[in-house]
């Protein structure tokens, strides 16, 4: 297994929101996507993905609909709501501020504060 | 944020099916499996890896559920269901706990509903904390009064109040003359009275300023009771002319339903208090009319400041108005309205509240003890739950849920009990307890009860809840929990101590009450009746007419069979209103009497000759009044033995002169200051046949008879009706009115006694529980001891010794506390010292014996154990 890193509290929500910003996706897809994009560093799963998805849904940031997957099976697709989009923006801004600040404290210049 | 709450609320109402999550998780695993298959794994391995990757399906599902809003609500419901199942499995435990709590909470609620109005609840007036009663007091009148001669000076020159208002003394009787006549109680107050109290009539209006002036238009306010009872809530009552005592008055308003005069007197109809300040300076010999005065302090002014600021006005009044010889006896008094209204009921209220809280405390200790026993029985169950993943918080919450449930059920049962108890209280209670007629279980009391039950629940729930379920218990054979044993012992000691305090208090009151009942009153009460005749003043408008009526009535009743004597007096001992005199008013042989201290008074009574025989008061020297004295121009008096000894020490009083009247006899002392106060010296004036002998207070008829009240009352009524059928008569047996005087101590004694017995019973049950628990715990040890040769006697001593230690410790602590608490009772005790050694010894003995019995039962049971069984016991 590739080395994994424990996600910071609350970071998973941000990752999920960011992933869903590209379009509706089912839970497995979200996990795969995060793994791929992070080049296998961030492994979601471990029983934390679905609680997080449901939590976000209860907060009204994402919504779910049953649909058919690419291999034509019934799957639950999550998509970002308008509130969720706004939330994503504000969380991204917070993240930038925070990582820049941490970078300063640690004496590193943040490489890509996208 | 708001939108988020809405979203949550939506999910709370429309819950998602659980299978949703299952489907989702299954899809996830299948996807992973397929991917792994594509990567070249075997079917079995692919699925295994997929499951590992997800990390525990069950956990994932569980955690997903927990995200649901209101998830914790579900767990509470779960806890409640679980608790209820537990109660069902163990009905004896449940019923015992609920019954114990119901008694504790019920009694506390009932007592609280009575004392709440005396101690805590605000009075039903605006700014009630700033209202005061102000006036003069002296040794004959302890309630503040004011005279019209100086009130207006005070009102115009005072600083500390932003309002002052007056009412007449009274109430007095008047007659409502119409098709449906009635005798009413009336009172006067001025136009500023209701506004100062923050009261406005429910119908109509208050008096206008010009209506409260002399010769103003004749108007009245009527009480809600009169409006409802007599006028059937007729809205057209306003502006109606009604005939009161022969003159027409116009109704301008109806007082609110719950309005209460600050003097707590019943009043049906109110006239404006129309006083002219100038006239008051000359009326009534320059004193003006007597009145009661109430005032509202300016915001931020304290009672002390008010007293200070009023002192100069008072001193001026004292030095100009009050005769020199009584000046030292007159004082200024300003008290808060609450103090005036509740007076001496306060101590009693606190004592009742304190004792009922003590009972509640004992009950809680018992329940805590029971919960702990139950907790021990469930040690394994809790350990299993803990091992299966229940967090410690969850387990504590479970126990607290059970405690809260039990106490809420207990509170519900307690409320029902309180309703019943309150009825008993009202039935038992003396008339002197303020606001008792208004006591009831309203929302405020109900919230108090719920709060109380939750506090109780926390109290007895937390103790057992804090026991950590230990993993050892899973494997435990006979785990010993030392700390809990100590706690239970402490609870038992506390219970014994508290019930010791309660019992001592109750025993002191009981002795005091018996002393009071058994004392010699100096008069005969059996077969003696009083008849109060309310002569309507407007028809019997002269003293002569009144005297004639009274004498005719007495003569008619005297002729009835079975009547020993019929007399008139202005008052009847031992209690109630009695006329008093100052020593400075007494002359002996023409010279003022100078041998008494300021403030002490003597009782005076104006009686017809038959008074002494009607009440069976012996004449110890000289003679009694005789019929001839009533016509004689030679005035005569009779003095009591106490008075004779006081003013004629060592001399013969017969033939001497007191207040210009010749002493003809000395009567035996009678109890004349109520049941509790010491006797005052007494002087009897003769009520003769001249008109002025019948002025002042309306006389009460005293009838000595050999028949029962049932037989007498209708005869007396018919005799009086034969003279004037419209005159109301009130007949009462003297023994009933004496018994009424003892109502208050009887009430206090029976209540405290009831609480003490409840407390004792619960404490003994608690002690029994602790000892039998200890005995069971030591079963194995007992077995070993017996196997090594200990006799049953040794075992009995071993177990009972444990109990005796607890009893002695609790008893000593309780005795100390009781000695302290008894001081609070001192003012309520009659002829018993608050530290009466006999009472304390008896209580200690009784408590000790009962408690010993409670320990001997389980101790004896312990000795019956077969050693073999005991050794194998786990």
For the ranges B411-420, B529-538, B628-637, B774-783, the one whose mean pLDDT is highest:
B411-420
**Cα nearest neighbour of A46 on chain B:** B55
CB contact under 8 A, A51 and B63: yes
The pLDDT confidence band at residue B738, using thresholds 50, 70 and 90, is confident
Confidence tier at B19 by pLDDT (50, 70, 90): low
Assess whether pLDDT exceeds 60 at residue B483. Answer: no
Count residue pairs from A and B with Cβ separation < 8 A: 70
pLDDT at B12: 58
What pLDDT is attached to residue B1? Answer: 54
- Cβ contacts (< 8 Å) between B7 and chain A: which residues? 58-60
Specify the pTM: 0.74
Contact B28 A28 (CB under 8 A): yes
Nearest residue, CB atoms, B32 vs list A28, A46, A75 = A28
Instruction: Tell whether B314 is covered by a domain.
Output: yes
Q: Are residues B273 and B375 in the same domain?
A: no
Instruction: Give the span between the Cα atoms of B175 and B173, in whole angstroms.
Output: 7
Phi then psi for B66, rounded to 5 degrees? Answer: -65, -15
- pLDDT value of residue B189: 92
Residue B817: its pLDDT value, please? Answer: 93
Tell me, yes or no, whether B218 and B333 share the same domain.
yes
Residue B235: pLDDT over 90: no
Q: Please check whether residue A114 lies inside any domain of the structure.
A: no
Q: Which of B323, B342, B361 is the last residue of a domain?
A: B342
Q: Which residue has the tokens 């424990």?
A: A6
B557 and B591 together in one domain: yes
**Which residues on neighbouring strands pair with residue B249, listed in sequence order?**
B242
Show the domain range for B202.
Answer: 128-342
- Whether residue B43 is contained in a domain is answered as yes
Please answer yes or no on whether A26 and B68 come within 8 Å at the CB atom.
no
| pLDDT tens by residue, B776-793 | 778 888 888 888 888 888
Give pLDDT, residue B14: 58
| Shared domain check, B233 and B377 | no
Rounded Cα–Cα distance for residues B329 and B137 (Å): 8
- Decide if A60 and B20 are in contact by the 8 Å CB cutoff: no
Tell if the CB–CB gap between B27 and A59 is shorter than 8 Å.
no
- d(CA B811, CA B855) in angstroms, rounded, equals 15
Q: What is the mean pLDDT of residues B33-56?
A: 81
> Which of A1, A16, A43, A45 should be substituted to probe chain B, the one whose Cβ sees the most B Cβ atoms within 10 Å?
A45
Nearest-Cα distance to chain B for A92, in Å, is 18
Domain boundary among B309, B342, B375: B342
- Is the same domain home to B510 and B539? no
Q: Are residues B294 and B351 in the same domain?
A: no
Is residue A101 assigned to a domain?
Answer: yes
What pLDDT is recorded for position B3? 61
Whole-angstrom distance, CA of residue B555 vs CA of residue B609: 13
Q: Using the predicted structure, report yes or no on whether residue B874 has a pLDDT greater than 70.
A: no
pLDDT computed for residue B607 by the predictor: 93
pLDDT tens-digit series, residues A18-36: 888 888 888 888 888 888 8
Residue A113 pLDDT > 60: no
Question: What is the structure's pLDDT at B773?
Answer: 79
Q: Is A38 within a domain?
A: yes
* Nearest CB neighbour to A45, from listed B11, B55, B63: B55
Question: Which pLDDT score, from 0 to 100, does residue A2 have?
Answer: 40
Q: Specify whether B598 is located in the same domain as B619.
A: yes
Residues B688 and B644 reside in one and the same domain: yes
Tell me, yes or no, whether B85 lies in a domain: no
Query: Mean pLDDT over residues A40-59, rounded?
Result: 79
Of B3, B32, B64, the CB nearest to A50: B64
Do the beta carbons of residue B525 and residue B575 sit within 8 Å? no
Residue B484 DSSP symbol: H
Are the CB atoms for B471 and B387 separated by under 8 Å? yes
Nearest to B144 by CA among B4, B310, B287, B331: B331
Number of structural domains found in chain A = 1
Question: Going by DSSP bridges, is the β-strand pair B700-705/B528-533 parallel, antiparallel, or unpaired?
Answer: antiparallel
B27–A69 C-beta distance less than 8 A: yes
Q: What's the DSSP call for residue B70? A: T
Residues B325 and B371 in one domain: no
Please indicate, yes or no, if residue B372 is contained in any of the structural domains: yes
CB B176 within 8 A of CB B244: yes
Q: Do B64 and A76 touch (CB under 8 A)?
A: no
B819 by Cβ neighbours in 10 Å (0-12 / 13-18 / 19+) ranks as middle
| B477: pLDDT strictly greater than 50 | no
Closest CA to B737 of B565, B531, B554: B531
Alpha-carbon span B178 to B152, nearest angstrom: 38
Shortest CA gap B74–chain A (Å): 16
Q: Answer whether residue B265 shows pLDDT above 90.
A: no
Token pair 């007599």 in the structure block, residue: B230
Three-state secondary structure call for residue B134:
strand
Residue B219: pLDDT band with limits 50, 70, 90: very high
Nearest CA in chain B to A30: B28
Tell me what pLDDT residue B476 has: 47
**A3 in a structural domain:** no
Higher pLDDT, A1 or B657: B657
Burial of B208 (0-12, 13-18, 19+ CB in 10 A): middle
Q: CB of B615 within 8 A of CB of B564?
A: no
A:49-78 residues touching chain B, CB 8 A cutoff: 49-51, 54-55, 57-60, 69, 71, 73-76
Q: Output the average pLDDT for chain B.
A: 84
Q: Do β-strands A62-68 and B269-272 pair in parallel, antiparallel, or remain unpaired? A: unpaired
CATH code where residue A79 lies: 1.10.10.10
> Looking at the structure, do residues B451 and B563 belong to the same domain, yes or no?
no
pLDDT digits (tens, 9 = 90+) for B787-839: 888 888 888 888 888 889 999 999 999 999 999 988 888 888 888 888 889 99
The pLDDT of residue A4: 46
Residues B316 and B193 in one domain: yes
Cβ-defined contact of B25 to A50 (cutoff 8 Å): yes
The answer as to whether B106 is a domain residue is: no
Contacts of B55 in chain A (CB under 8 A): 45-47
Q: Is B393 helix (H, G, I), strand (E, B) or coil?
A: helix
Chain-chain contact of A51 with B60 (C-beta, under 8 angstroms): yes
Rg of chain B over all Cα atoms, to the nearest angstrom: 38
More confident residue, B24 or A93: A93
Distant-in-sequence, close-in-space partners of B591: CB < 8 Å, separation ≥ 6: none
- Of B23, B43, B69, the domain-final residue: B69
- Domain tally, chain B: 4
Q: How far is B62 from chain A (nearest CA, A)?
A: 9
Q: Which residues of B touch A26 (CB under 8 A)?
A: 27
A111 assigned to some structural domain: no
Domain coverage including residue A38: 11-106
Q: Residue A27 is nearest to which of B8, B28, B67, comparing CB atoms?
A: B28
Question: ipTM > 0.85?
Answer: no
What pLDDT, in 10s, does the model give residues B424-440? 888 777 766 777 777 77
pLDDT digits (tens, 9 = 90+) for B272-303: 988 888 888 887 777 888 899 999 999 999 99
- Evaluate whether residue B250 is within a structural domain: yes
- Answer yes or no: do B701 and B604 share one domain: yes
Residue B87 lies in a domain: no
H or E segment to which residue B375 belongs? helix B345-377
Task: From chain B, pick out residues whose CB is under 8 angstroms from the CB of A27.
Answer: 24, 27-28
Question: Which residues in chain A are contacts of B59 at CB distance < 8 A?
Answer: 47
Note whether residue A99 is domain-resident: yes
pLDDT of residue A31: 85
């Amino acid at each position: 297994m590739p080395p994994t890193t424990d996600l910071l509290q609350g970071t998973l929500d941000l990752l999920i929101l960011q992933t869903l910003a590209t379009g509706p996706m089912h839970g497995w897809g979200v996990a795969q996507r995060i793994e791929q994009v992070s080049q296998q560093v961030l492994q979601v799963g471990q029983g934390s993905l679905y609680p997080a998805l449901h939590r976000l849904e209860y907060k009204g940031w994402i919504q779910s609909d049953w649909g058919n997957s690419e291999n034509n099976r019934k799957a639950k697709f999550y998509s970002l709501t308008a509130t969720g989009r706004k939330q994503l923006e504000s969380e991204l801004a917070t993240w930038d501020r925070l990582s820049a600040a941490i970078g300063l404290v640690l004496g590193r210049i943040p490489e890509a504060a996208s | 944020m708001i939108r988020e709450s809405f979203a949550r609320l939506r999910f709370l109402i429309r819950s998602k099916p659980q299978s949703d999550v299952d489907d989702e998780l299954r899809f996830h695993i299948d996807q992973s499996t397929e991917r792994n298959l594509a990567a070249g794994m075997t079917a079995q391995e692919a699925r295994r890896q997929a499951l590992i990757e997800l990390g525990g399906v069950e956990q994932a599902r569980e955690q997903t559920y927990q995200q649901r809003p209101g998830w914790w609500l579900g767990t509470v419901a779960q806890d409640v269901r679980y608790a209820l199942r537990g109660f069902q499995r163990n009905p004896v435990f449940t019923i015992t706990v609920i019954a114990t709590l119901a008694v504790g909470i019920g009694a506390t609620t009932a007592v609280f509903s009575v004392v709440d109005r005396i101690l805590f609840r605000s009075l039903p007036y605006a700014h009630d904390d700033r209202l005061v009663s102000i006036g003069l007091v002296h040794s004959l009148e302890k309630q503040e009064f004011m005279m019209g001669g100086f009130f207006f000076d005070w009102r115009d020159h005072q600083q500390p109040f932003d309002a002052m208002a007056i009412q007449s003394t009274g109430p007095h009787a008047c007659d409502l003359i119409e098709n449906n006549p009635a005798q009413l109680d009336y009172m006067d107050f001025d136009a500023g009275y209701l506004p100062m109290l923050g009261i406005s009539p429910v119908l109509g209006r208050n008096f206008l300023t010009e209506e409260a002036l002399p010769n103003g238009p004749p108007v009245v306010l009527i009480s809600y009771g009169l409006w409802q009872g007599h006028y059937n809530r007729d809205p057209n009552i306003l502006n109606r002319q009604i005939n009161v005592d022969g003159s027409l008055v116009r109704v301008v308003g109806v007082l609110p339903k719950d309005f209460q005069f600050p003097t707590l007197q019943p009043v049906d109809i109110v006239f404006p208090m129309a006083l002219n300040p100038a006239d008051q300076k000359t009326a009534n010999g320059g004193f003006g009319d007597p009145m009661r005065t109430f005032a509202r302090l300016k915001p931020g002014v304290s009672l002390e400041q008010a007293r200070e600021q009023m002192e100069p006005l008072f001193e001026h009044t004292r030095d100009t108005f009050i005769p020199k010889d009584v000046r030292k006896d007159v004082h200024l008094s300003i008290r808060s309205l609450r103090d005036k209204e509740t007076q001496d009921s306060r101590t009693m209220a606190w004592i009742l509240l304190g004792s009922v809280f003590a009972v509640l405390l004992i009950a809680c200790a018992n329940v805590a003890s029971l919960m702990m026993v139950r907790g021990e029985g469930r040690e394994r169950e809790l350990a299993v739950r803990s091992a299966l993943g229940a967090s410690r918080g969850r387990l504590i919450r479970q126990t607290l849920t059970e405690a809260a449930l039990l106490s809420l059920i207990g509170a519900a049962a307690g409320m029902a009990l309180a309703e019943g108890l309150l009825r008993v209280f009202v039935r038992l209670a003396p008339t002197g307890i303020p606001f008792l007629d208004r006591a009831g279980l309203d929302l405020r009391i109900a919230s108090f009860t719920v709060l109380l039950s939750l506090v109780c629940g926390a109290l007895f729930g937390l103790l057992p809840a804090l026991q950590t379920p230990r993993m050892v218990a899973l494997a435990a054979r006979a785990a010993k929990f030392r700390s809990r044993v100590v706690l239970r012992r402490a609870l038992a000691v506390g219970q014994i101590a508290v019930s010791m305090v309660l019992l001592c208090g109750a025993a002191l009151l009981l002795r005091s009450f018996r002393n009071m009942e058994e004392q010699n009153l100096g008069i005969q009460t059996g077969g003696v009746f009083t008849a109060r005749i309310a002569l309507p003043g407007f028809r019997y408008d002269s003293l002569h007419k009144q005297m004639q009526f009274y004498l005719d009535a007495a003569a008619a009743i005297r002729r009835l069979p079975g009547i020993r004597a019929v007399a008139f007096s202005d008052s009847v001992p031992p209690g109630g209103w009695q006329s008093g005199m100052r020593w400075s008013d007494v002359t002996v042989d023409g010279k003022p009497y100078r041998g008494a201290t300021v403030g002490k008074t003597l009782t005076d009574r104006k009686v017809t000759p038959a008074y002494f025989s009607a009440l069976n008061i012996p004449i110890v020297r000289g003679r009694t009044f005789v019929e001839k004295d009533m016509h004689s121009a030679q005035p005569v008096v009779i003095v009591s033995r106490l008075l004779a000894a006081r003013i004629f020490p060592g001399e013969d009083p017969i033939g001497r002169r007191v207040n210009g009247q010749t002493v003809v006899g000395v009567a035996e002392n009678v109890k004349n200051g109520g049941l509790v106060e010491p006797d005052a010296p007494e002087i009897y004036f003769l009520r003769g046949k001249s008109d002025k002998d019948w002025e002042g207070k309306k006389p009460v008829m005293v009838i000595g008879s050999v028949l029962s009240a049932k037989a007498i009352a209708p005869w007396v009524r018919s005799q009086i009706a034969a003279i004037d059928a419209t005159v109301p008569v009130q007949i009462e047996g003297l023994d009933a009115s004496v018994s009424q005087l003892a109502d208050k101590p009887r009430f206090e004694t029976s209540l405290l006694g009831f609480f003490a017995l409840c407390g004792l019973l619960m404490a003994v049950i608690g002690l029994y529980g602790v000892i039998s628990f200890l005995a069971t715990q030591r079963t194995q040890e007992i077995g070993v001891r017996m196997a090594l040769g200990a006799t049953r006697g040794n075992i009995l001593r071993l177990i009972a010794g444990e109990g005796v230690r607890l009893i002695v410790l609790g008893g000593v602590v309780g005795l100390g506390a009781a000695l302290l608490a008894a001081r609070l009772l001192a003012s309520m005790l009659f002829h018993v010292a608050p530290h009466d050694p006999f009472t304390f010894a008896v209580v200690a003995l009784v408590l000790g014996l009962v408690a010993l019995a409670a320990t001997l039962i389980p101790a004896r049971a312990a000795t019956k154990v077969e050693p073999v069984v005991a050794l194998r016991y786990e």
